[in-house]
Amino acid sequence: MASDTMVGDREAAGAIAGMQELYGLSLPDRGQAIRGITEGKRWSGACAHSDEFWTIVEIEPEVYLKVRTTDIEIE
């Protein structure tokens, strides 16, 4: 029986599912509209960079805000 999967695919899928469950969201794409609340202050803008810990948001042309990735809500 032929399969399109490779050794380790199930483990990788499980790890991805676990991280999504832990962090509760997927990372936004560069340029994607995002919004959120950080330390009680609401903000919105476009994603300039994002990783599992921090997201850089362009809130105005050449004005950036660094927030925790867990603070964002993808629009």
What are the chain's domains? 28-74 (2.30.30)
Beta bridge partners of 45: 34
- Tell me if 4 sits within 8 A of 34, measured CB to CB: no
pLDDT band at 5 (very low <50, low <70, confident <90, very high): low
pTM of the model: 0.64
Q: Determine the pLDDT at residue 42.
A: 95
Residue 37, CB half-sphere, CA atoms under 13 Å: how many? 3
Q: Determine the pLDDT at residue 75.
A: 56
Would you say residue 40 has pLDDT above 80?
yes
Q: What is the pLDDT of residues 19-33, one digit of tens each?
A: 666 666 678 999 999
| Mean pLDDT, range 39-45, rounded to an integer | 94
